[in-house]
Structure 1
Amino acid sequence: MNVIEAENLAKTFRVRQKEKGMKGSLQAILRPRIKEVQAVDGISFSVEAGEMLAFIGPNGAGKSTTIKMLTGILYPDGGRARVLDIDPAKQRRRLAYEIGTVFGQKEQLWTHLTPYDNFRFFGAIYDSPDRETESRIRELADTFELGSFLNTPVRNLSLGQRIRCEIVASLIHRPRVLFLDEPTIGLDPVVKENIRALIRQMNRELGTTIFLTSHDVGDIEKLCRRIIIVNSGRIVLDDSMEHLKNHYLDRKIVEAKLREEAPLPAAEGITLLKQKGGRVKFQVDTGKLRINDALHMIDAENLEDINISNVPLESIITEIYKAEGREDGIS
């Protein structure tokens, strides 16, 4: 069953264009030049119930605009969208009772209130009976381990604690779909892993469908089984994470430590990435040269240590971006 469906979804913005030498002039004020920007250009996709999807792309690719159309914040200029069989543009209030949103860079909690008071407030917004809200708070506070700071003002919480509370606030009304926009931004590695574990647990135990946007490759790789990459308002890739990796596994990264510095043998399929003293790093295209044959080119008696790994997912995604004429990478 599909819980999200987008069909030829499109959105164009009209923006004022600055002109050189026109700043502050009367003509620039009375007759500004208007430029049309196609933010989303006829994209189509669907998301199944319980799926965890990464929806990514460089800045300006159309990610946020798409999410805003799926949540009813923006109206599409063309095409159609359905979320839980609800038209977001026409039934935004009804949809709000079925979805949750977490924006890592935007707070929805009242910072002078405690998490507990915030959760009570959100329960009232969604017309949840007091008894049900209290039960839900206890359940989520236990799952997300909020007990030690449940009654501490939000302004006194760490960033990691606040993000956990932001997620809980979005789950008070038991949404069937959760939109996460950069949920781990600014967090240290340990807290990031904790947040990811909680998201996985929420998806596994509650069956919540996760629609994730993130510039953090760790979020994408560790949470999602499917990835959609958008660029210039269009979908350039819609594939499983496993297939995406396998497609690029014909390239291996070899890092070797030599007892004595030696030149890397020149051969088709070998690309030198870095060499300093006895340390050398190179890439092997196994479609042109078997990895065993590449390793045999290194003098075994001169070899002290070696490590072979796959091309990082970050490099794969950056390469896809560049193939679409953009230089943006994942940060």
Structure 2
Amino acid sequence: MVDYIIETDGLTREFTRRGKGRETLRKTTLRAVDELRLLVGPGESVGYIGANGAGKSTTIKMLVGILVPTSGTVRTCGIDPHRERRRLAAQVGVVFGQRSQLWWDLPVRESFDILAAIHQLPGAAARSRSTELIEQLELTEFLATPVRQLSLGQRMRAEVAAALLHRPRLVILDEPTIGLDVLSKQRLREFLITERREHGTTLLLTTHDMGDIERLCERVLVVDHGRAVYDGSLDGLARAAGAERTLVLDFADATPDLTGIPHTTHLGSEVAGARQRLAFDSEMTTAATVLAAVGERAQLRDLSIEEPDIEDVVRRIYRASR
């Protein structure tokens, strides 16, 4: 029997809204999460994506016990989140991109000391773990700086360290790279990859940055109006949406348009045909087969493959689900 880190069945959350003005007595019900079934095993890395208002943050709040489900069941790390929030806090680390768990006027180092005391970490273990996180996330230069004086990139790295200080089994990251520069994003992604590899940490990531999903997640769950409309791999997501891969072909000389190659669409030519783009459906053919056909008609000098744009793939999934 698998001990799931996240296990939900029929998970539903509704909100009641009152009207405004003359409609004050009128109530409407909004279903933010709609009978969600989600199983996440130990060590998995899952991207939980969808448009604003799709129900992602509401789901997270139920997973950690901040909200009570309207119906259905949820267990996180084998624990009922709402009934045993304090016990669950020792198993889960959460980072909200728009909120801080650090003390605003205190130096970063003191926030870590307070969190270690809250989690009742032994002194030696707390010092060892703090040192590890400080080194890996490059925090040394601003440990003595009050949190309010940190740049956004510095604060987010400190937030991740704070969430992982007690070695949680599950880390939930809600828009962790929002507003970060390219270098800060790269540092954070590399750290999370290392943390999963060395400690078997389970990761649930919500983000609008598709680079985060592509680099950090092995599995993707797409939600639309609170319903799961896709659950599988990134490659499978593109196939489910009917998205095509694109071959960018560079030739030694000007080349006539490569039309008529089976299961491909000629997207355009540049430099008198010396560079051409062919889209192909990976369900119907392979890049190798297409290249063999191209080689019979022209001398190929170089090539690259462009993968489908993930945001476009998600839009296609939404349209199909509706």
Aligned-partner Cα distance in 2 for 1:306–1:86: 51
Which residues of 2 match residues 1-331 of structure 1 at below 5 A?
1-17=3-19, 25=21, 27-29=22-24, 31=25, 33-241=26-234, 243-244=236-237, 251-256=244-249, 260=254, 263=257, 265=259, 269-275=263-269, 278=272, 280-285=276-281, 290-292=289-291, 295=294, 300=298, 306-325=303-322
Once the 2 structures are TM-superposed, how far is the Cα of residue 66 of structure 1 from its aligned partner? 0.8
- Counterpart contact for 2:243–2:308, Cα < 8 Å: no
Once the 2 structures are TM-superposed, how far is the Cα of residue 183 of structure 1 from its aligned partner? 1.2
For the residue of structure 1 that corresponds to 2:5, the secondary structure is strand
Cα offsets for 1:130-152 (capped at 9, x unmatched): 55433432232233232222212
Aligned-partner Cα distance in 2 for 1:291–1:281: 12
For the residue of structure 1 that corresponds to 2:229, the secondary structure is strand
Gapped runs of 5+ residues in structure 2? none
- Counterpart contact for 2:259–2:266, Cα < 8 Å: no
**Cα distance 1:229–1:286, how it changes in 2: closer, same or farther (>3 A)?**
closer
Once the 2 structures are TM-superposed, how far is the Cα of residue 3 of structure 1 from its aligned partner? 1.6
Gapped runs of 5+ residues in structure 1? 19-24, 326-331
Q: For structure 1, which segment, 143-152 or 254-263, has the greater mean C-alpha deviation from structure 2 after superposition?
A: 254-263
**Cα distance 1:75–1:143, how it changes in 2: closer, same or farther (>3 A)?**
same
**Cα distance 1:250–1:124, how it changes in 2: closer, same or farther (>3 A)?**
closer
TM-score normalized by the length of structure 1: 0.83
**Cα distance 1:294–1:134, how it changes in 2: closer, same or farther (>3 A)?**
same
Aligned-partner Cα distance in 1 for 2:14–2:101: 28
Once the 2 structures are TM-superposed, how far is the Cα of residue 42 of structure 1 from its aligned partner? 0.7
TM-score normalized by the length of structure 2: 0.85
Aligned residue identity for 2:45: M
**Cα distance 1:54–1:260, how it changes in 2: closer, same or farther (>3 A)?**
same
For the residue of structure 2 that corresponds to 1:2, the secondary structure is coil
Aligned-partner Cα distance in 1 for 2:239–2:264: 19
Aligned-partner Cα distance in 2 for 1:260–1:143: 50
Instruction: State the identity %.
Output: 41
**Cα distance 1:156–1:285, how it changes in 2: closer, same or farther (>3 A)?**
same
For the residue of structure 1 that corresponds to 2:69, the secondary structure is coil
| Counterpart residue number, 1:329 | none
Cα offsets for 1:250-306 (capped at 9, x unmatched): 933023457558555356644344556645434123556651476368x626x7754
Aligned-partner Cα distance in 1 for 2:98–2:268: 37
Once the 2 structures are TM-superposed, how far is the Cα of residue 230 of structure 1 from its aligned partner? 1.3
- Counterpart contact for 1:69–1:76, Cα < 8 Å: yes
Aligned residue identity for 1:46: L
Aligned residue identity for 1:295: V
For the residue of structure 2 that corresponds to 1:190, the secondary structure is helix
**Cα distance 1:309–1:177, how it changes in 2: closer, same or farther (>3 A)?**
same
Aligned-partner Cα distance in 1 for 2:226–2:278: 35
Aligned-partner Cα distance in 2 for 1:212–1:61: 15
Aligned-partner Cα distance in 2 for 1:285–1:251: 5
How many residue pairs match? The answer is: 314
Q: For structure 1, which segment, 253-262 or 39-48, has the greater mean C-alpha deviation from structure 2 after superposition?
A: 253-262
Once the 2 structures are TM-superposed, how far is the Cα of residue 215 of structure 1 from its aligned partner? 1.4
